[in-house]
């Protein structure tokens, strides 16, 4: 077994995944960037290598069970360890429930839920056997509080949150840590659905959504704050911190919270 720590990051070619890839590499961790967007993934790898880090890009569709298992097995065979598994790949689909069709539900369940499940199934037995490791699943504040016009996305992210909480309880006895990332409003491609998602909005709503993007937290600032909490093994990582207050408010006064979120979202999505 080598002394170099190893991380697999699904969806590592852009957004939060790319930012984490660069940050972890700067700390001497070898990063395996697993993504469907190979050109973007290789660009991130090139940046990391140029900065003196260690990284590799592998093509991966997280909905393919055989492919996910093969990537995890290959990394473990070559490196003899897997320290971090970031089940981060995801898509966004926005718009009212009336604008969703079954293809929207199928796509978001396949990527956002099945993709995380397959990552867990592939890496958890390895981490249990080696006696250490950290599984980081990307949920969302939309998985903790009801965000109008994000019905399928919110459902998928709530499932990720629930899976992570159960797995954390089970995995601790084996030395495996499990953490749930719950980003708030972060400036990443997911705000427009991501490369494989979509926002089912009219033109005016889309323009308003883009204007709101100026209020989003910078993705690099997000990962620095989140990484600090991951090192402390925080179970639920909510960044920006203001969203922790939103979550608390929702649990204490759910109806008032829903009405507030409805008013905020209706200004943008109608």
Q: What are phi and psi of 222, to 5 degrees?
A: -60, -50
Closest CA to 257 of 145, 136, 178, 126: 145
CA distances from 221 to 49, 213, 224, 227, 268 (A): 22, 15, 5, 10, 25
Instruction: Give Cβ neighbours of residue 93 (< 8 Å, ≥ 6 apart).
Output: 100, 104, 107, 108, 152, 153, 193, 197, 198, 199, 200
Tokens read off for 201: 């909005």
138: number of Cβ within 10 Å: 30
Question: Is 153 one of the annotated active-site residues of the chain?
Answer: yes
Instruction: Give Cβ neighbours of residue 111 (< 8 Å, ≥ 6 apart).
Output: 62, 63, 89, 90, 91, 196
Determine the Cα–Cα distance for residues 203 and 236; give it in Å rounded to an integer.
Answer: 36
Annotated catalytic residue: which of 153, 161, 250, 260?
153
Tokens read off for 2: 């080598």
- DSSP designation for 95: B
Determine the Cα–Cα distance for residues 29 and 260; give it in Å rounded to an integer.
Answer: 42
Q: What's the alpha-carbon Rg for the chain, to the nearest Å?
A: 18
- So which residues are the catalytic ones? 153
């Amino acid at each position: 077994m080598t002394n170099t720590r190893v991380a697999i990051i699904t969806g590592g070619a852009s957004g939060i995944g790319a930012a984490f890839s660069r940050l972890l590499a700067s700390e001497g961790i070898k990063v395996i960037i697993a993504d469907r967007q190979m050109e973007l993934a290789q660009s991130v790898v090139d940046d990391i290598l140029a900065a003196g880090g260690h990284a590799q890009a592998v093509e991966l569709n997280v909905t393919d069970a055989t492919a996910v298992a093969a990537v995890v097995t290959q990394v473990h065979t070559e490196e003899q360890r897997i320290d971090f598994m970031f089940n981060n790949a995801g898509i966004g689909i926005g718009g009212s429930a009336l604008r969703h069709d079954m293809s929207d539900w199928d796509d978001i369940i396949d990527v956002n839920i099945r993709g995380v499940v397959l990552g867990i199934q592939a890496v958890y037995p390895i981490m249990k056997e080696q006696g250490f490791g950290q599984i980081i699943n990307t949920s969302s504040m939309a998985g903790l509080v009801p965000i109008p016009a994000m019905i399928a996305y919110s459902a998928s992210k709530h499932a990720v949150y629930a899976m992570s909480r159960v797995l954390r309880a089970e995995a601790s006895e084996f030395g495996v840590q499990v953490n749930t990332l719950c980003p708030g409003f972060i400036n990443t491609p997911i705000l427009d659905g991501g490369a494989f998602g979509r926002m089912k909005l009219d033109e005016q709503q889309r323009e308003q959504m883009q204007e709101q993007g100026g209020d989003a937290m910078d993705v690099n600032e997000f990962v620095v704050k989140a990484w600090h909490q991951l090192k402390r093994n925080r179970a639920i990582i909510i960044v920006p911190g203001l969203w922790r207050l939103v979550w608390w408010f929702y649990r204490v006064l759910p109806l008032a919270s829903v009405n507030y979120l409805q008013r905020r979202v209706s200004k943008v999505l109608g």
